Amino acid sequence: MQSLGIDVLFKGTNFIRLLGGLWVAVRISLISVALSILLGLVVGVLMTSRSKILRALFRIYLEIVRIMPQMVLLFVVYFGTTRVFGWNLAAETSAVIVFTFWGVAEMGDLVRGALISIPKIQYESAEALGLVPTQTYRYVILPQTVRRLIPLSINLVTRMIKTTSLVMMIGIVEVLKVAQQIIEANRRVSPNAAFGVFAVVFLLYFLICWPIGRLAAYLEKRWA
Amino acid sequence: MDIDVIISYLPLYKEALLLTAGIGWQGIALAFLLGLLCAVITHLRVPVLRGFVAVYVELFRNTPLLVQLFFLYFALPKIGIHISPTVCGTMGLGLLGGAYMAEALRSGLEAIPAIQSESAQSLGMTGMQTFRHIILPEALSSSVPGIVANVVFLLKETSVFSTISLMDLMFTAKDLIGMYAKTIECLTLLVVFYLIMLLPVSVLGSLVERRVRHAEFGD
């Protein structure tokens, strides 16, 4: 039986290149998550606002994000903005825009959920103990909200990392694209490389997302 | 925007929509059955099988569908397993969805208070009867929100099918843009057709969720 192409990975700098590709994917998701958390906190608070119009607007925004595949959004931003506005966005910038657009909606909804899940009695008890509103938020409400939010936002990180695999479709050279290049370059010497290389990519994604997911599950249980 | 162009593209997009929806539903049906099987195995603590289920669920929940499809489509032929793109799409969606459905159904099974099976037992039902008539219906109804979310998620995931040369909506859009450069028309149609596919599912899903809420037991 012919080799299954694991050896191809250890030729030259192939494995380092693969990890470099993975880093591109992780970098895009980390930047997007950071932006999503910051903006999502604001959007989440606005989602609990008393203004019906504001709530309806954010509701529509959330539904659009929930329904449209991220791939479609990537295409619309990357190819559409060039045509309509004449912008020449770099692929990576488009990816960050799309993932942030998606992340802010998801994060906002999580913040909204966490805020309304704090029972009214918490506010009332704080007031009965003589805390002023800022103190109530700082010492009572925020610590509880953050505890509920952290595991959920960690889950969002893994979802983003998994979704970044789509960015190869708009020409970003991330881990899958590097894998394809390695396979193509070694087609003659190792025709079966596709098996080994794609299996390794599969495992790499698993090795990144699984521990993060476990951490989220652990925190969720511990802080519940 | 050119209306004539849009009209001339409509049949192509319709074909693509039917292909996406067809594979989508088959994949989702497969995912549901696989998920149910896995959830029951986990719930009944079947030895050995339970371990396999745990590994499968963690592996497929923590990797992207695109990578799974690449593995099925490009890697498996190298060890002699050749699968057609259509089957590959269905299988990929089914395997990914199975892992997600298993989680949703498992938490539904776990949510049932012990008093339900105790009451069934005291009414003289056997283990199998309790499972079929009490536990399973209750678990299904309490996992409906999770199942609905998964169905929408899986239909969205079909957008990566174009990478294994299935002529779905993304493929059609990309192809037409490449050939005629009518970018705006193509992208508008792409968005509209995904809405046509996903909006009814999403609305129907929330209706079903509301409808089964009466089936919440205990407490």
Domains of chain B by residue range: 18-168
Q: What is the pLDDT of residue A1?
A: 46
Task: With CB atoms and an 8 Å threshold, state whether A202 touches B58.
Answer: no
Residue B85 has pLDDT above 60, yes or no: yes
Of B64, B76, B156, the CB nearest to A165: B64
Interface test with chain A among B62, B82, B176, B201, by most A beta carbons within 10 Å: B62
ipTM of the complex: 0.85
B187 lies within 8 A of chain A by CB: yes
Residue A157 CB: number of other CB atoms within 10 A?
24
Q: How many domains does chain A have?
A: 1
What is the per-residue pLDDT across B140-181, written as a single tens digit (0 to 9) for each?
888 888 899 999 999 999 999 988 888 889 999 989 988 888
Sorting pLDDT into bands at 50, 70 and 90, what band is B218?
very low
Predicted local confidence at residue B145, as pLDDT: 87
Q: A67 and B66 in contact by Cβ < 8 A?
A: no
Q: Does B170 touch chain A (CB under 8 A)?
A: yes
B215: confidence class by pLDDT, cuts 50, 70, 90: low
Q: Answer whether residue A44 is part of any domain.
A: yes
Report if residue A72 sits inside a domain.
yes
Which of A91-95, B96-100, B184-188, B215-219 is predicted least confidently?
Answer: B215-219
B71 contact A CB<8A: yes
A30 alpha carbon, distance to own chain's centre: 7
Question: Three-state secondary structure along B139-186?
Answer: HHHHCHHHHHHHHHHHHHHHHHHHHHCCCCHHHHHHHHHHHHCCHHHH
CB of B86 closer than 8 Å to CB of B167? no
To test the contact with chain B by mutation, choose from A71, A76, A78, A201 the residue with the greatest count of B C-beta atoms within 10 A, namely A71
Angle at B185 between CA B180 and CA B188, to 5 degrees: 140
Q: Could you report the per-residue pLDDT of B113-125, keeping only the tens digit for each?
A: 888 889 999 999 9
pLDDT tens-digit readout, A100-126 = 999 999 999 999 988 888 888 998 999
Does the residue A1 lie in any domain? no
What pLDDT does residue A126 have? 92
The number of angstroms, rounded, from the C-alpha of A40 to the middle of its chain's C-alpha atoms is 13
Distance between B152 CA and the closest CA of chain A, angstroms:
7
Chain A residues within an 8 Å CB radius of B158: 69
Q: Name the closest residue on chain B to residue A198, using Cα atoms.
A: B71
Evaluate whether residue A63 is within a structural domain. yes
CB contact A211 to B (< 8 Å):
no
Cβ pair A78, B174 in contact under 8 A:
no
Residues in A touching B184 (Cβ below 8 Å): 80, 83-84
CA atoms of A100 and B60, how far apart (whole Å)? 25
Region class of B123: left (phi > 0), else alpha (psi between -120 and 50), else beta:
alpha
Binary contact (A210, B62; C-beta < 8 A): yes
Closest to B139 measured CA to CA, from B97, B93, B101: B101
**Which pLDDT tens digit goes with each residue over B173-186?**
989 988 888 888 89
Q: Which of B71, B159, B191 sits opposite A76 (nearest CB)?
A: B191
Looking at residue A222, what is its pLDDT? 86
Residues spanned by the domain of A208: 6-223
Tally of CB atoms within 10 A around A132: 10
Residue B208 has pLDDT above 50, yes or no: yes
Q: What is the pLDDT of residue A2?
A: 59
Helical ranges in chain B per DSSP H:
3-43, 49-61, 65-70, 85-110, 114-122, 127-129, 136-142, 144-157, 169-180, 183-211
Contacts of B75 in chain A (CB under 8 A): 194-195, 197-199
Phi and psi (nearest 5°) for B47?
Answer: -65, 160
User: Which regions in chain A score pLDDT beneath 50?
Assistant: 1
Specify if A51 maps to a domain.
yes
- Residue from B88, B179, B185, B191 to probe the interface with A (highest A Cβ count within 10 Å): B191
The predicted-structure confidence for B19-71, as pLDDT tens digits, reads as follows 999 999 999 999 999 999 999 999 888 899 999 999 999 999 999 999 999 99
Question: What's the CATH code of the domain at A211?
Answer: 1.10.3720.10
pLDDT value of position A86: 80
Please determine, for residue B11, whether its predicted confidence score (pLDDT) is greater than 60. Answer: yes
Provide the sign of the torsion angle of the four alpha carbons A28, A205, B26, B201, taken in this order.
negative
Structural domain B18-168, CATH architecture: Orthogonal Bundle (1.10)
- pLDDT of B216 reads 59
